[in-house]
Chains A and B, each alone.
Chain A
Amino acid sequence: MANTSNRTSPLSVDHLSMRYHHKPVLTDVSFNIPEGKSIAIVGPNGAGKSTLLKGIMGLEPLIEGQVNFFGQSLDKKRLSTAYVPQREEIDWDFPINVMDVVLMGRHGHLKLWQRPSNIDRQIAEKALKDLQMWDFKDRQISQLSGGQQQRVFLARSLAQQANLYLMDEPFAGVDVATEKAIIELFKNLKQQGKTIICVHHDLNTVGEYFDWIIFINARLVAAGPVEEVLTKENLNKTYGGRLSLLNDLTEEMYRTQLNKAHDTD
């Protein structure tokens, strides 16, 4: 899967494998993402969708494989990449207001002891306005509804002014207004040539909201434009249960540390 296109892909994943203790979570996943599109990562529960995103962002260790952002390692492209974690991952009782959370998006650009400047505040203001959350800027985050929490997280990633957005289930448990706001946001970002990758769980909407789909179930099932890959066959392969023999043998391989015992060419 060499880079045949003229432009380097915003994200290319190459032979990525991950595990949890000895259990394989993802095995040998490779794909290249086109620029300026919205991409959904789809698969059943426990398929490794969030893990894939975390592995890409370097939050969980890879056992094998490589991830490149615009042809470079993540450390060189931090500022072009924004990650939106799952809403459940954090304590929404934390004593902080909406504006301060969004300003966190600017800290990648700030030096060690630097505080957000007026320009940073303007960027945060625009991000909040884009998501219709400006009226809530002084609100404590504990007083927000689920959808508003999600919009705060999205505004924070917008404030990073990145080119590639990785989002973990932004549509999970949000109200209609938020869903509309997110779709609007996707449209705007794509118009600016930015790329969005989302873990998505709703098969009913995936064809409508996204341009591209990556089907995952412990391994890569298919990746490509919606019209090509959203087929009955791929859905069956993705949701039809895992290949148990593959799974068991991979686990056995990790347990025995075969990759170290075996001389690779």
Chain B
Amino acid sequence: MDAFTLLQPVSTWDNLLSFWRFEDMNVLWVLVGSILLGMSASVIGAFAFLRKRSLIGDALAHAALPGVMMAFLLFQTRDPLVMFLGAAASSFIGFFLIDWLPKNTKIKPDAALAITLSFFFALGLMLLSYIQGLNVENKSGLDKILFGQAAAMTQDDIRLLGYVAITILITVTLFFHKLRLIAFNRTYAITIGMAVNRYELLLALLIVMSVVVGLQLVGVVLMAAVLLTPIAAARFWSGELRSILILSAFLGALSAIISTQISYIAPAMPTGPWMVVSLSILFILSLLFAPQKGLLKRFLEHKLLRQKVAEENILRTLYKLVERNKIAQLDFNHSDIQALRSVPTESLQKTLKTLCRKKLIESSSKGFRLTQSGLELATQLTRRHRLWENYLNEHAELTPEQVHNQAERIEHILTESQEKQLQDELKNADSDPHGNPIPSQTSLTEGKN
């Protein structure tokens, strides 16, 4: 009986439950470790991102690979500290190469980055295949640092990761103002006497450290995404660096939770790709749905504006019709409107319906007629249109033919205070360059009554 139950496959759900019950203490460790990594990497990556050095993390992660392999070859151990130091050393060599090449040769920074990255990565892969051919202990699992495997981490690994992550978070909090100042305006920082080089070295050190401890969890190939995607996503939500950093730390942690969980449920799944996929999904969600800068919001705003312009244009047309008919006729039909302004019939009908609903116009068997409030709005628009035409004519010396098209657009966005300013600056605020009168706020209304 017992043997039979053992053979039964464990369901995903049970697996998930046992993950969150932390039946296996190791699970808790891995979870905490990856959350810390997600947070620290996204915070330090943010500074690389803001300083427009986004790719540096990618290059440093690749540059760490040969260091790990060399450390293993030399000391024949998988001790986390040895691995860490090996990786950090070779990352730093990579970092200085990337820094040195553009300063001392004709190679540009992007090329220096690409050359260093691929050279170190190739070197690391070469050493890796060499090690796999050797007959040594402990070598299995070394290849996991390419794509990361949370489950393969030991408690020692995670302890080291925790120390590094906390160091990074504390340092960034402590030096937040200075690091922000350097990222914002480096030359200015120099002129007020800050030791910019030292801070830059500190930043480099922190990035190298976070990249190196992240290797086992995320892997060499995808580490850059963990540094950059959180801040890229968080920028859509806020304009203040403090909140952006907190938010990107949160996104980093969230993606860490998702990916460790999946990696636990399906042990064949590497953690790195899952972390990056979940981060990218968070990024896409931010891109689309962020309240201020999201694409959806921008799309809706644009749609609203288009609708407003369409409505206002019809009101203006009705106003002009009234004006031309010397107020003898107040009702106009579709063809009257289309004779003055070319609008596709379908959208004209739609707009007229909206205007009726807003009680700006009334519809009867005779046609459409401006209501009191519609007339006021139309008068105001016409005023702004003609004031702007006059302004362009008087101050920018445009001919009456040129001014009309510009005023067609500006009339929709002029505010009351700008309108007043225009009126004050104009010598002639009575008639536009075409000879039409500029209505005061009440003139036509009075005429009608």
Contact = CB atoms under 8 A, between A and B. Distances in A.
A89 interface: yes
Q: Is the interface on chain B under 10, 10 to 19, 20 to 34, or 35 or more residues?
A: 20 to 34
Interface string A156-185: 100010000000000000000000000000
Interface of A is mostly: mixed
B174 A140 contact: no
Most chain B C-beta atoms within 10 Å of own C-beta, residue among A79, A104, A108: A104
Interface in B158-213: 174-175, 177-178, 180-181, 183-185, 187-194
Given A95-B238, A116-B177, A85 B185 contact: yes
Nearest to A105: B192
B235 A75 contact: no
Interface string B44-79: 000000101000000000000000000000000000
A142 B239 contact: yes
Given A57-B190, A94-B50, A107-B192, 15 more contacts: A57-B191, A78-B192, A82-B191, A83-B188, A83-B191, A89-B185, A89-B187, A95-B244, A96-B184, A96-B240, A100-B180, A108-B193, A113-B175, A115-B177, A140-B239
9 contacts: A58-B191, A75-B193, A91-B184, A96-B240, A104-B181, A107-B177, A116-B177, A156-B188, A160-B192
B241 interface: yes
B177 A59 contact: no
Contact of B180 (A81, A96, A116): A96
A90 B184 contact: yes
Nearest to B174: A113
Interface string B414-439: 00000000000000000000000000
A115 B177 CA distance: 7
A160 B235 CA distance: 30
A30 interface: no
Nearest to A54: B187
Nearest to B188: A85
Contacts of B177: 107, 110, 115-116
A1 to B, nearest CB: 25
Interface of B is mostly: helix
A90 B192 contact: no
Contacts of A108: 192-194
Given A113-B175, A116-B177, A104 B190 contact: no
A247 interface: no
A101 interface: yes
A89 B187 CA distance: 9
Contacts of A142: 239
Nearest to A109: B192
A90 B415 CA distance: 32
